[in-house]
Amino acid sequence: MKSQHRNILSMRYSTDVLVTVLESKERCKFSDLNEFVTNYSTLNSLLSAFEKEGLVMIEEVMRPHYTRYIDLTDKGREIAEHLKQANKLLNETGDGNEY
């Protein structure tokens, strides 16, 4: 099970998507995430994997027009908060050297 989580989190854009949903001031829509993950199929696959692992819930609303809302589960929120903190620490401890 641990290796599955590691694989999901290593998928391209996974950190960006989880942190973006976490930081959304309103309910996050699929189209909000599509702004930086421009490939529909990539974003759809990533969200499906997150949903399968219990990190997000996806709600489809048909009226007034079709919209998919993405919400973090408690587990997804915890992971997103850790990822956000890890990114913050990495940015703070950078010494300016390029490797």
Which range of residues forms the domain containing residue 51?
A: 2-84
Domain total of the chain: 1
Residue 29 counted as domain residue: yes
pLDDT reported for residue 29: 95
Residue 35 counted as domain residue: yes
Report the candidate in 92, 56, 89 with the shortest Cα–Cα distance to residue 74.
56
**Which 3 state secondary structure label does DSSP give 87?**
helix
Residue 17, classified by CB atoms within 10 Å of its CB into exposed (0-12), middle (13-18) or buried (19+), is buried
Residue 59 counted as domain residue: yes
Record the pTM: 0.82
Residue 94 counted as domain residue: no
**Which 3 state secondary structure label does DSSP give 47?**
helix
CATH code, domain carrying 54: 1.10.10.10
Residue 99 counted as domain residue: no
Q: Walk along the chain (99 residues) and give the pLDDT tens digit of each residue.
A: 455 566 888 888 999 999 999 999 999 999 999 888 999 999 999 999 999 999 999 999 998 899 999 999 999 999 999 999 998 898 887 655 443
Residue 97 counted as domain residue: no
